[in-house]
Chains A and B, each alone.
Chain A
Amino acid sequence: MSRASVSKVSKVSGGSGGSDAAEVSEVSEVSKASEKALARSYRSERALTFGAGALVLGASCVALAVGFGWLGTVRARRPVLDPIAVDWLAAHAVPARVAAIVAGLLLCAGGLGWLARSLRPEGRPDLRLDRAVGHELTVAAGALADAVRADAEAVDGVARARARAVGSAERPALRLDVTLRDGADLRRVWPDLDERVLARARESLGLEVLPAAVRLDTGTANRRRGR
């Protein structure tokens, strides 16, 4: 009897712990999605540019070290295309050629993939509210953006607003660019944007969560005075 109750208690606590963890991970996932919506990510572009620069820098530093004789004065006096290296390559011609061809193909494929990634435009997904067959309901990205924009521009302190859908079709998010009026009170505008604009968007779409990112700026008219 007592054993049964103990096992029951442990089961209950285990169950609630699990759902708590699920909730927490869901919240952090939504936060992550809204953070990702803040701006298009250039992380890979930056990393690749940094890596290419570091590679070039490192290789030319080694070349400089050789040139100044820090890696041996005899080596510094030898030609750049060293006959020893050429002879070694000639002795291993087949593996060297295969390696060169494979490296060339990999470089080409990697470069093309990188290029496609750099040039790909940022998506404007439509919002699929209902995916059930026969009941499909889709809100076009443009319609959503217009509705949210009108709501945002009605908030006191907002001069202009622009909204767009970002992310993927599976995980759409909303990005709102807001230009504040001169002398707008951020302490009021910021909660207002959530309570009146985003909450209304969620409500009218019937969504529990809609990851959203708001980017606030002041107008550019009097830029010099602002600094």
Chain B
Amino acid sequence: MRILVRLLSTLLALAAAAAGALLALEVAWQWWRPGSAPLLVPWPAWQAALAGVRWDSTATRLAAALTALGGLLLVLAAAAARHRTVRLREPAPGVSGTLTPRALARLVGTHVRAREDVAAATVTASATRVRVRVTGARDAGAELAPDVTEAVSTVLSGLPLARTPRLSVAVEPSGERR
């Protein structure tokens, strides 16, 4: 998403520069030589077309709706292009660090899967939240969810994370039981 916003930003910059240059050029040219008016952009034709279209016509509404959609997409792309890394505590002033969410999920996943009572586990992580879904082994007790929660919170509090993410653990039915 960040690459997309960089690309969009570059294209928008080009478009703004070109539009500004054309606007200044056309207005100046029309002022200087009204007779040979359109220089590059056929704006008199646009003018005639716009003068013949009403605000409540379908074409106007459709064009406005499509433009609104384009603007919304730009806004959403810009809003989504933020850092998704997990900050680490500074070991010394002037040293900052991040961990990718994937790496955090993997660290947690390694610990969870190493347990005897867990058959399989899925971990997703972000800076604010860690979600663990475990499938219990055949001999797993009823206390699997609290046990895993406690183990993972111990792991998380041991990691040098700047802020401890919220933890949610869900146990999925294994299917082999019953």
* Chain A residues within CB distance 8 Å of chain B: 27, 30-31, 33-35, 37-39, 42, 45-50, 52-61, 63-64, 66-69, 75-81, 83, 86, 97, 100-101, 103-112, 114-115, 117-119, 180, 182-183, 186-187, 190-191, 193-195, 198, 209-218, 223, 225-227
A111 contacts B18, CB within 8 Å?
Answer: yes
B158 contacts A187, CB within 8 Å?
Answer: yes
Which of A67, A81, A83, A104 is within 8 Å of B27, CB to CB? A104
B61, CB-defined interface residue at 8 Å: yes
* Chain B residues within CB distance 8 Å of chain A: 2, 5-6, 8-10, 12-25, 27-28, 30-31, 47, 50-57, 60-61, 63-65, 67-68, 70-79, 81-83, 85, 88, 90-100, 102-103, 105-107, 109-110, 122-124, 158-160
**Cα of A57 to Cα of B92 in the assembled complex, Å:** 45
Cβ–Cβ < 8 Å partners of A61 in chain B: 64, 68
B23 contacts A100, CB within 8 Å?
Answer: yes
**Cα of A57 to Cα of B51 in the assembled complex, Å:** 23
A156 CB, min distance to chain B CBs, angstroms: 16
A50 contacts B78, CB within 8 Å?
Answer: yes
A139 CB, min distance to chain B CBs, angstroms: 18
**Cα of A76 to Cα of B67 in the assembled complex, Å:** 19
Which of A81, A108, A119, A191 is within 8 Å of B24, CB to CB? A108
B79 CB, min distance to chain A CBs, angstroms: 7
B23 contacts A107, CB within 8 Å?
Answer: yes
Cβ–Cβ < 8 Å partners of A53 in chain B: 70-78
Contacts A100-B23, A103-B24, A107-B23 supplied; 5 other A-B pairs, CB < 8 Å: A35-B96, A112-B17, A114-B13, A186-B107, A198-B92
A42 CB, min distance to chain B CBs, angstroms: 6
* Main SS at interface, chain A: helix
B82 CB, min distance to chain A CBs, angstroms: 8
Nearest 6 interchain pairs by C-beta? A53-B74, A107-B20, A111-B17, A104-B24, A57-B71, A56-B71
Of all chain A residues, the one with the shortest Cβ separation from B73 is A53
Cβ–Cβ < 8 Å partners of A77 in chain B: 54-56
Of all chain A residues, the one with the shortest Cβ separation from B88 is A190
Cβ–Cβ < 8 Å partners of B21 in chain A: 104, 108
A192 CB, min distance to chain B CBs, angstroms: 9
Interface centre among B91, B92, B95, B159 (most CB of A within 10 A): B95
Cβ–Cβ < 8 Å partners of B107 in chain A: 186, 218
B103 contacts A216, CB within 8 Å?
Answer: yes
Of all chain A residues, the one with the shortest Cβ separation from B107 is A186
